[in-house]
């Protein structure tokens, strides 16, 4: 029971950190109350609750919340995915995050992104996304690959191989176009 209480506190802390990141990274949010209508934030919030239930072996309820999120928001975040606090899913519509995905804090994900698998197999089959990564609209990151901290993935890119930290990749298949020297400050290039 103590673990559940601690994990419950962690959910509240994670939602608070998510909220702070949304207010910092989404310039369309002029007022805090707008978050109650933000599809990306609401779907991430439902994920936090479904992940808690999944972690404590209440899988039926976890997948019920997962289903509700898919129906209401058109966002599919598997309850078993591991998402650190402070992630932003901007817009959210059409975003798919597979069951063995990990995502680091500070990451910004635009709409229509797929973090999926390349093969039908058991075990690790989805990507690991580092911290402070920017993933452009419609990007597909497929397979058990690693995206390094501070990397930028261009809109509609298809990433099939590891991306080194602080590297910008674009295209189908994605190729390196720039080595970044610091975490992105401006994101206009990808919108």
158 close to 143: Cβ distance less than 8 angstroms: no
CATH number at residue 137: 2.160.10.10
Per-residue pLDDT of the chain in tens (191 residues, 90 and over written 9): 779 999 999 999 999 999 999 999 988 888 999 999 999 999 999 999 999 999 999 999 999 999 999 999 999 999 999 999 999 999 889 999 999 999 999 999 999 999 999 988 899 999 999 999 999 999 999 999 999 999 999 999 999 999 999 999 999 999 999 888 765 554 444 44
> Considering the entire predicted model, what is its pTM?
0.91
Contacts of 166 (CB under 8 A, 6+ apart): 148, 149, 150, 151, 179, 180, 181, 182, 183
Tally the domains of the chain. 1
**The predicted structure's pLDDT at residue 188:** 45
Domain span holding position 116: 2-190
Residue 182's pLDDT is: 65
Lookup: tokens for 8: 């419950």
Which conformational region is residue 153 in: left (phi greater than 0), alpha (psi within -120 to 50 degrees), or beta? beta
Q: What one-character DSSP code corresponds to residue 34?
A: G
Nearest residue to 165 via CA among 138, 128, 117: 128
- The reported pLDDT for the residue numbered 86 is 96
């Amino acid at each position: 029971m103590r673990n559940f209480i601690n994990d419950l506190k962690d959910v509240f802390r994670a939602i608070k950190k998510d909220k702070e990141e949304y207010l910092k990274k989404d310039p369309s949010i002029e007022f805090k109350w707008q978050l109650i209508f933000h599809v990306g934030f609401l779907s991430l919030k439902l994920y936090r609750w479904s992940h808690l239930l999944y972690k404590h072996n209440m899988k039926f309820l976890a997948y019920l919340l997962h289903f509700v999120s898919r129906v209401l928001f058109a966002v599919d975040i598997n309850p078993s995915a591991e998402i650190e606090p402070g992630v932003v899913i901007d817009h959210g519509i059409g975003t798919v995050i597979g069951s063995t995905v990990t995502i680091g804090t500070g990451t910004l994900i635009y709409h229509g992104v797929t973090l999926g698998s390349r093969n039908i197999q058991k075990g690790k089959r989805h990507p690991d996304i580092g911290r402070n990564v920017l993933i452009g609209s419609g990007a597909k990151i497929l397979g058990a690959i690693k995206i390094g901290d501070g990397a930028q993935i261009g809109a509609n890119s298809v990433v099939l191989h590891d991306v080194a930290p602080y590297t910008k990749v674009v295209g189908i298949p994605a190729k390196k176009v720039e080595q970044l020297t610091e975490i992105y400050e401006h994101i206009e290039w990808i919108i």
